[in-house]
Amino acid sequence: MILIHKNGFCKAQYDPSTKTVRTQYIGIANVESITDLLRKVLEFSAKQPIRHMIANLTLMQGTFTGALDFFEKEFYPTMIKNGLETYAMAVSSDVFTHFAATQLKKKVGGKLEWQAFPSVEKAEQWTSSLVKL
């Protein structure tokens, strides 16, 4: 695993063997930290092929709806252009996190294979089934 970036709220790591980025978010949702991390992933995606992403939000509380414009207009279009094929999100039981995940899927769900899961294990299984080595 290659560490792409880490801040006080989240981190992103890259697995070159499967071309997968895994992000982890812990604590109260922080839009600035999320966009900081994902801008680093965008920079990384210009140099390394990223085909799959797994976002672990199971330890996050709160909403990230303040970042939806960034996801819709900057993050996903650039990642898809750079080769992203699948996105799996493991969501906590927090009602606000669920709401934000639902809103995000409505905005970008038709542009790539995008699924939300109740656990990281399920997200990993789904992604593994789509990885072409």
Catalogue all structural domains in the chain, each as residue range(s) with its CATH number: 2-130 (3.30.750.24)
Q: Report the alpha-carbon distance of residue 76 to residue 22 in Å, rounded.
A: 15
pLDDT reading at 108 higher than 70: no
Q: Pick the more confident residue, 76 or 65.
A: 76
pLDDT value of residue 60: 86
Q: With cut-offs at 50, 70 and 90, classify the pLDDT of residue 29.
A: confident
Q: With cut-offs at 50, 70 and 90, classify the pLDDT of residue 107.
A: low
pLDDT reading at 112 higher than 80: no
Give the global pTM. 0.89
4-13, 55-64, 70-79, 87-96: which has the highest mean pLDDT? 4-13
Average pLDDT estimate for 35-46: 96
- Which amino acid, 98? H
Residue of 7, 80, 93 whose CA lies nearest to 49: 80
pLDDT value of residue 44: 97
Quick one: CA dihedral 123, 126, 129, 133, positive or negative? negative
